[in-house]
A and B are shown apart, each in its own frame.
Chain A
Amino acid sequence: MTVVLKADGVTKRFGGLVAVNDFSFELKQGAIDSIIGPNGAGKTTLFNCMTGFYKPDEGDINFDGHHIQGFTPDRVTNSGIARTYQNIRLFSNMTAIENILVGQHPHLKTLWFEALFKNKRFKNEEAAALDEARRLLQYVGLTGLGDQLARNLPYGAQRRLEIARALASKPKVLLLDEPTAGMNPNESADLMHFIRNARDELGISILMIEHDMRVVMGISEHISVMDFGQKIAEGNPKEIQRNPRVIEAYLGRGAAAGFETQASANAG
């Protein structure tokens, strides 16, 4: 399988703090991969480097055969990467459907003054965009809520709407930053199904940051573990679960030792 998104030795420093240190990874076409790690490990900073919010100090980010490090966020999106945010960042005073319409921005081509004359091209494009927005609304299961202001939607619906907005740009790669944060186990399970379906139906590749281990282990094909800005482990869910360095990063050295003894006792 081809690699769509590739980071090579990405480093980002804030003053003396090295938030991301020489991080490399590959996301294959159609894969669902996860990045996990304790709080403050640099996961979101890495996302911000890949989406143009930050300019990495060193290293190379390659998307679909093009170097995209140093691109502004709008160029990154226009080239085919969409993302969601750890703390939901919808356009809260716009309706759900307007949020999705904004998400379609990269694919709308009419010029601003065509709106003044409402020419045929403008009308057709707007009608098509509205249809597409309704379709996406239905796709994420929010039919009937389209005319609600985004801030009035329930929490779970806001998460879904954010994903719909990201999908509206028809991305090749979708970056999800803690998509199940604040959800109960049922909602998380629903979302897992949804993400897997979206990958299968839309043929996109998904990279996510996630804390809920049930979600991570249940859905990911490949996991990278970050701690203090560095990659400390990678592999499939089973390998990661057994990796002593991962357990240490999450629970501390002593607990890791205890856990290991217990694990071997159980195995024995």
Chain B
Amino acid sequence: MKFDWRVIIRNGLLGGGIAFYLSAIGMTELFSERYLIGDFFSTGQLFVAIGGLTAGILTARAYKEENRFSAFLKSLISGVISSIPLLVLIFLIQVLVVRQIGEDVVFTWRDMFVNFSPALVEILTFGQGLAVGIPLLILVMTILSGLGAILILLPSRWGKALTSGLIWTLGIGIFSENVRSILAEVTNRDFVRLVFQQKTLNPGAALVIFLVVAVISFFRVGNTIQSGWKRLPTPQQKQGRIVGIVLGIILLIVLPWMVGQFLSQALFLVGMYVMMGLGLNIVVGYAGLLDLGYVAFFAFGAYTMGILTSTGPLGVGNFTFWTALPIAVLVGVVWGLLLGFPVLRMRGDYLAIVTLGFGEIIRILATSNWLAPFEGGPQGILHIPTPVFFGITMSQPQQMYYLVVAGSIFIAFVTIRLRDSRLGRQWMAMREDEDVAEAMGINLVQTKLLAFSIGAAFSAMGGAIFAARVGNIFPHSFNLLISINALALIIVGGLGSIPGVVVGALILVGLPELLREFTEYRLLMYGVLLIIMMLYKPEGFLPEETHKRELRGEEDDDYIEEQPVAMEA
């Protein structure tokens, strides 16, 4: 058995480095009053704790195969080491930043490192002063590291149970406000008070959540249900699937009334990005044409809706939402074709750069004074009425939510049908190898233009609904970031996968809405999440499945039952 100091020290420093970094950028201090559980465990402390846990988990993982006890001891050493960066931080703050001679501050680095504050030292030393606080900090980091090691070293069943219990408890703590508002909608006040004290989790409730999740995970309830499901005969599985679909539809319908207005607005945004993502998925995921100017079509849809329905001076024709919507989609198609023509012969990076340029050109044109008489220039289009559906004015986010859900389902339906057709295969062949696809007799011009225009139609539809929701549109709403978001969400979800688009939109659009309180650190967390994802799941969260065609036939055919013998083998 080799006692490799380098691994132990590296893991310790890595964990400590994370804690150091999160503290140095001010997260620890800013969230030291934002309690997760009771009034003793705050988000700020969690950020420091992550460092210790990481050190323990990494070291325990490295030595897992060896003697468990010695692996545990090594993790403790890593834990001690992980406190070193924090000690350095305390030292820096003490010695370099707050150097005082008498009453006068002689020199302070805080101009540069604004977050190196005495308050941070106090948090890191648990308010006990340096002499007691520093040994205490080392001890806490060591314990945390040991805890991380235990999660890894315990038999996997126990470890998994504890881990999921921890994650759920902390997750509910972090999203306490949202969970609380949902609970307030579906249960009564007493129950809410039982779980939450003011804004944070009750310690007792936290323990209950932890235990319940851990027990559920320990007894593998999920697996039991799954295997029970698999043992059901096929017709019953079919019935079960129908019940599941019905339940899903009911959930989609009641969801906005369960979560309240704020979250409904977030869900509306998610739905809009789902529509855009599905469109872009056709262009990028299926046809392999990297389009970075995708926001242009979104803008065309929004402006068409704005001009056709606005009751302000720029409005033309006073169309209703429902007549303007198909026109907006048509405008999207036309522009998809017009912008598709010049880039037909371009591939890969060149295509990306040219489409990026197109997106910017459209935005700048929209801002220009030249077009201002028609679409308002920088002042944008105002007074776009909200849609009216059989006499109901859809002014609530909940009502608009239904509109995007309907739109998303329609788009998903079209996408699935096209994907499983000859056109879908043409797109994918083109994505895989353009030259060979052409040599298979595929007309590249037609295939590319269809991808561009159908993708543009979906995006324009999203844009039109967006315009009707916000009521006023301005050119700066249609910046590059929207294209990048749409692209990022289909990559996070898994290129070419329709459920992946939904998951990607929930993660990249929904999650930031829930994490509003982390305002200035939102992009950082977003970035960390993306990096972690690209390292551990580069194919996306829900990658596209390959379609079983040889043995199963088309989906309408009866499924050939899998042989039980083959399952056992």
Contact = CB atoms under 8 A, between A and B. Distances in A.
Contacts of A102: 425-426, 428-429, 437, 440, 442
A191 to B, nearest CB: 21
A115 B417 contact: yes
Interface string B533-567: 00000000000001111110110100000000000
Interface-central residue, B418, B431, B432, B439, by most chain A CB under 10 Å: B439
Interface in B434-458: 435-444, 450
Interface string A61-72: 000000000001
B505 to A, nearest CB: 24
Contact of A53 (B417, B435, B551): B435
Chain A contact-residue range equals: 35 or more
A112 B435 contact: no
B443 A126 contact: no
B422 A98 contact: no
Contacts of A114: 421
Nearest to A151: B432
Interface in A107-125: 108, 110, 112, 114-116, 118, 122-123
A214 B420 CA distance: 44
A122 B431 CA distance: 24
A134 B432 contact: no
Chain B contact-residue range equals: 35 or more
Interface string A114-154: 11101000110011001001100100000011110100000
Given A73-B439, A102-B437, A116-B417, A94 B422 contact: no
A233 B414 CA distance: 57
A122 to B, nearest CB: 7
B429 A112 contact: no
B429 A147 contact: no
Nearest to B433: A89
Contacts of A78: 441
Contacts of B551: 146-147
B438 A74 contact: yes
B549 A103 contact: no
A74 B448 CA distance: 14
Nearest to A78: B441
A146 B450 CA distance: 28
Contacts of B549: 95, 97-98, 101, 130, 133, 146-147
Interface of B: 414, 417-418, 420-426, 428-429, 431-433, 435-444, 450, 546-551, 553-554, 556
11 contacts: A74-B442, A77-B439, A91-B433, A94-B425, A97-B550, A101-B425, A110-B421, A115-B418, A126-B421, A130-B549, A147-B546
Given A94-B428, A127-B554, 7 more contacts: A72-B438, A83-B439, A90-B432, A91-B428, A91-B433, A115-B417, A116-B417
Interface of A: 51-53, 72-74, 76-78, 83, 85, 89-98, 101-103, 105-106, 108, 110, 112, 114-116, 118, 122-123, 126-127, 130, 133-134, 137, 144-147, 149, 165, 169
